[in-house]
């Protein structure tokens, strides 16, 4: 049996994907041109050459520059639709999409423009391709809590389109505790909390995310292995990690994929999911993440099935949706032929 074919074809969910990080250079150039915006790179090739990062901040600087060409509703629609096309190629049938409103509102683009463009694409993807999705509104942690409160306020008229709130951007020096009050207020509004923690920050940031923000999942969380008590607590509270292998490699959180902690985390009993994070910048969508981490860590077919099932099980889909998705996975596994 070809494990590669199995990985490519198995139905999957993606739980950690920044829509701005799915912005392919070709589309970026097209949109820059139609919006009459100069990007500081002459060509797609030159831009791609700049995708060499020493750390998270190196990447974020380029990511925010790229997002700077998005101005109109149709730009956000095109961006999101391009991601759904990738979902089809990767057999992603359910996607939880993060978006960073402040990356745009800070530049004078309205919240309404951003979310309407994304929402239109979501509805079309459901109708045309049968792909289900939901939205995670992420606060930028390098900005103040007051700015996050403004974003929460702006989101309220669109509440029915948003399921969850997250926390992203520069981790070190911006601990979850900085956002305790706005997360509390967000949960009161019905949003389900997640947060990036333990990507570059230490285990104490993960403790804060679970104790102070009450997150249902931890984005990345690799560094939980620093603290045995934390590992036990994550297992006890049944919190999944959204792990992003190629992101960790490209942002130098691991030197080589063979030293990636994914399998160690699984062996400790933590529920791990595999995700692409920012596929346009880190060298591949979800299938590529699965293929490369499988090879690097010599994962078995059973490991792959477990990871895929976790991504549905620990999603924010309804219980009815989850059971339907898991049945599809079981049917695929039973019927799979090389
Ligand atoms: N980490 C933190 N913030 C982000 C990332 C990431 O990988 N991608 C987009 N914003
Ligand atoms: Zn991320």
Q: Is 189 tagged catalytic?
A: no
Residue 247 alpha carbon to ligand 1 centre in Å = 9
Ligand in closest contact with the CA of 172: 1
Residues 141 and 173 sit within 8 Å (Cβ to Cβ) = no
| 242, 250, 276, 278: residue to mutate for ligand 1 pocket, most atoms within 8 A of CB | 278
Summarised one tens digit per residue, pLDDT across range 282-297 is 999 999 999 999 999 9
Question: H or E stretch including 12?
Answer: strand 12-18
Residue 272 alpha carbon to ligand 1 centre in Å = 18
Locus of tokens 């499988």 = 294
Residue 338: per-residue pLDDT: 76
Give the ranges where the chain is alpha helix by DSSP (H).
3-9, 25-34, 44-49, 56-67, 73-90, 101-105, 111-129, 145-155, 180-188, 203-211, 228-236, 245-250, 262-267, 279-282, 286-297, 301-313, 319-335
Ligand in closest contact with the CA of 199: 1
Residue 122: per-residue pLDDT: 99
pTM over 0.85: yes
Percent of the chain with pLDDT over 70: 100
Residues 133 and 122 sit within 8 Å (Cβ to Cβ) = yes
pLDDT averaged over the chain? 98
Helix axes 301-313, 286-297, angle to 10 degrees: 140
Summarised one tens digit per residue, pLDDT across range 146-171 is 999 999 999 999 999 999 999 999 99
The residue ranges of every structural domain in the chain are 2-318
Residue 1: per-residue pLDDT: 59
Residues 328, 308: Cα–Cα separation, whole Å: 11
Residue 2 alpha carbon to ligand 1 centre in Å = 33
Span 309-317, average pLDDT: 98
**Which residue's CA is the nearest one to ligand 1's atom 2?**
169
Q: Out of 3.30.300.20, 2.60.40.10, 1.10.287.70, 3.20.20.140, which CATH number does the structure's domain 2-318 have? A: 3.20.20.140
Residues 158, 176: Cα–Cα separation, whole Å: 25
Atom from ligand 1 closest to the CA of residue 171: 2
Residue 138 alpha carbon to ligand 2 centre in Å = 10
Span 229-235, average pLDDT: 98
* Confidence class for position 19, pLDDT limits 50, 70, 90: very high
Which residues, listed in sequence order, are joined to residue 243 by a DSSP beta bridge? 274
Ligand in closest contact with the CA of 100: 1
**Which residue's CA is the nearest one to ligand 1's atom 10?**
169
Residues with CB under 6 A from ligand 1: 18, 21, 56, 63, 168-169, 196, 199, 247, 277-278
Residue 83 alpha carbon to ligand 1 centre in Å = 17
Summarised one tens digit per residue, pLDDT across range 71-123 is 999 999 999 999 999 999 999 999 999 999 999 999 999 999 999 999 999 99
Residues 274, 245: Cα–Cα separation, whole Å: 7
Q: How many CA atoms lie within 13 A of 328 on its CB side?
A: 18
Residue 316 alpha carbon to ligand 1 centre in Å = 20
Residues 90 and 285 sit within 8 Å (Cβ to Cβ) = yes
| 102, 199, 241, 253: residue to mutate for ligand 1 pocket, most atoms within 8 A of CB | 199
- Buried b / exposed e along 77-89 (16+ C-beta atoms within 10 A): bbbbbbbbebbee
Does residue 254 carry a pLDDT above 90? Answer: yes
Q: Give the angle 291-90-268 at the CA atoms, nearest 5°.
A: 45
Locus of tokens 């979902």 = 87
Residue 273: per-residue pLDDT: 99
Catalytic-labelled residue, pool 20, 73, 96, 199: 199
| 196, 219, 249, 289: residue to mutate for ligand 1 pocket, most atoms within 8 A of CB | 196
Token reading at 146:
């007051």
Residues 284 and 322 sit within 8 Å (Cβ to Cβ) = no
Residue 337: per-residue pLDDT: 86
**Which residue's CA is the nearest one to ligand 1's atom 4?**
169
């Amino acid at each position: 049996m070809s494990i590669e074919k199995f990985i490519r074809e198995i139905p999957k969910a993606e739980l950690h994907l920044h829509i701005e990080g799915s912005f392919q250079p070709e589309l970026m150039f097209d949109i820059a041109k139609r919006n009459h915006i100069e990007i500081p790179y002459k060509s797609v090739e030159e831009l791609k050459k700049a995708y060499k990062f020493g750390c998270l901040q190196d990447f974020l600087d380029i990511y925010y520059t790229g997002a700077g060409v998005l101005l109109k509703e149709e730009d956000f629609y095109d961006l999101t639709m391009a991601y759904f096309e990738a979902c089809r190629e990767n057999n992603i049938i359910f996607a939880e999409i993060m978006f960073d409103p402040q990356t745009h509102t800070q530049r004078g683009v309205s919240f309404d423009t951003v979310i309407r463009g994304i929402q239109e694409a979501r509805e079309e993807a459901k109708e045309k391709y049968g792909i289900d999705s939901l939205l995670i509104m992420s606060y930028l942690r390098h900005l103040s809590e007051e700015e996050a409160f403004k974003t929460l306020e702006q989101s309220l008229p669109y509440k029915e389109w948003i399921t969850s709130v997250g926390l992203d951007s520069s981790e070190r020096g911006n601990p979850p505790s900085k956002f305790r009050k706005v997360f509390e207020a967000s949960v009161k509004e019905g949003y389900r909390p997640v947060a990036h923690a333990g990507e570059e920050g230490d285990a104490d940031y993960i403790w804060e995310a679970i104790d102070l923000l009450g997150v249902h999942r931890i984005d990345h969380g690799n560094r939980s292995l620093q603290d045995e008590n934390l590992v036990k607590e994550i297992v006890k509270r049944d919190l999944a990690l959204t792990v992003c292998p190629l992101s960790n490699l490209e942002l130098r959180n691991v030197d080589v994929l063979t030293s990636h902690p994914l399998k160690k985390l699984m062996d400790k009993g933590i529920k791990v999911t595999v995700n692409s994070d920012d596929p346009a910048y880190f060298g591949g969508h979800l299938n590529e993440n699965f293929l490369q981490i499988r090879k690097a860590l010599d994962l078995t077919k059973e490991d792959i099935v477990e990871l895929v099932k976790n991504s549905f099980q620990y999603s924010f889909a309804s219980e009815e949706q989850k059971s339907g998705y898991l049945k599809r996975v079981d049917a695929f596994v039973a019927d799979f032929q090389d």
